[in-house]
A = this chain, B = another copy of it.
């Protein structure tokens, strides 16, 4: 029996009760063929090039976890029409030192979440721009999850059939994308 592909999940919000995290869990449940595992970003020190030679333990651990994963999934709210600073900092930490980025070549997917209708469009595409540079081939399928607070019940479980159907399709597309990109990487 083959091992399921491992997916490092980055949740953009640091709130305990984050709706982005709930959404990541819902996607996980609906995509049983992938092994999701959240990598925490809230404990990462702000990136500072002066510390590159003496990286903090948190940076080292974070980089190792991303490096070990087959793929990366970002589920994030939008802060001020872009990604949260904490998420961008995690991106920066993983990208350094120069030439040793742990993001390089990993298949990725981006889901943005918002309480209102716009669905985090600004965060979604800012993140994609960074991922182009980092050579993370991102699934084209767009996932803008609007009105997010209304989608979950009191137990924090997804309680919206339309969203469940969407996430099921999305998880399949992501799974296929992972295979496509990893096959390409293997052929290179």
* A11 contacts chain B at the CB level, 8 A cutoff: no
A138 to chain B, nearest CB (A): 8
**Cβ B91 vs Cβ A88 within 8 A:** no
**Cβ A184 vs Cβ B188 within 8 A:** no
Q: How many copies does the complex hold?
A: 4
In this complex, how many residues of chain A approach chain B with their Cβ under 8 Å: the count is 59
24 A–B pairs (Cβ distance < 8 Å), ordered by A: A13-B49, A14-B50, A15-B48, A42-B46, A42-B48, A46-B85, A48-B86, A80-B88, A80-B91, A80-B130, A81-B125, A84-B88, A85-B88, A85-B90, A85-B91, A88-B89, A117-B118, A122-B133, A125-B129, A125-B132, A126-B126, A132-B142, A134-B140, A180-B184
